A and B are shown apart, each in its own frame.
Chain A
């Protein structure tokens, strides 16, 4: 039973560019949440998708957007990258309204 898979594992982008990160949830899960983890910090909630809609959003600008597909997989898009966007981006899947979250290993994004 595959857990949460994220791609790519590492990515280097230039300021001003756009990036798309991908997540496949654990089998049986229908909800995907994205978190940003800066170095030495705890993960910060970006947003959550369920039934292909954004259900909750954290304190992140509109440059951060997402999508969920009918197969429950999800994408995180970040536009107009800033140096401060450099972080580990984590995807967590769960079953809607059930407290049980499985995290992927993350995508390490470096903005130069």
Chain B
């Protein structure tokens, strides 16, 4: 069935350290994955995406890794800053569908 889950509901890191947020998905027909950041009182904000024919994609301070063998997705944030504090969601789109399937989210807290 469709499901996108996260390994950890909360993550606390020191400012300046790297953060890794993980996500497991179950549908092998998923062909597009997105990471969103959601701050309090706001809607999800696009961070980075990756298609199923790729295994890595880099953006500014962020990297997404996709392991299709074990159906695992991760978001790496380099040199974490206080502004990175938020809830992070992974989402998938199953091939042929046009809807996003979200996981439950991971709350990232940055310690000074």
Contact = CB atoms under 8 A, between A and B. Distances in A.
Interface residues of B, number: 23
Contacts of A68: none
Contact of B43 (A33, A45, A58, A104): A104
Contacts of A58: 99
A106 interface: yes
A21 interface: no
Interface stretch (A11-19, A74-82, A95-103): A95-103
Contacts, number: 57
Interface of A: 4, 31, 33, 35, 40-45, 48, 55-56, 58, 90, 92, 94, 97, 99, 101-106
Interface centre among B100, B103, B105 (most CB of A within 10 A): B100
Interface of B: 4, 32, 34, 36, 41-46, 49, 89, 91, 93, 97-105
15 contacts: A4-B43, A35-B100, A35-B102, A40-B105, A41-B105, A42-B104, A42-B105, A43-B102, A45-B99, A45-B100, A48-B98, A48-B99, A94-B98, A99-B34, A103-B44
A100 to B, nearest CB: 8
Given A48-B99, A56-B97, 10 more contacts: A33-B99, A35-B100, A41-B104, A43-B89, A56-B98, A90-B43, A99-B34, A105-B41, A105-B43, A106-B42
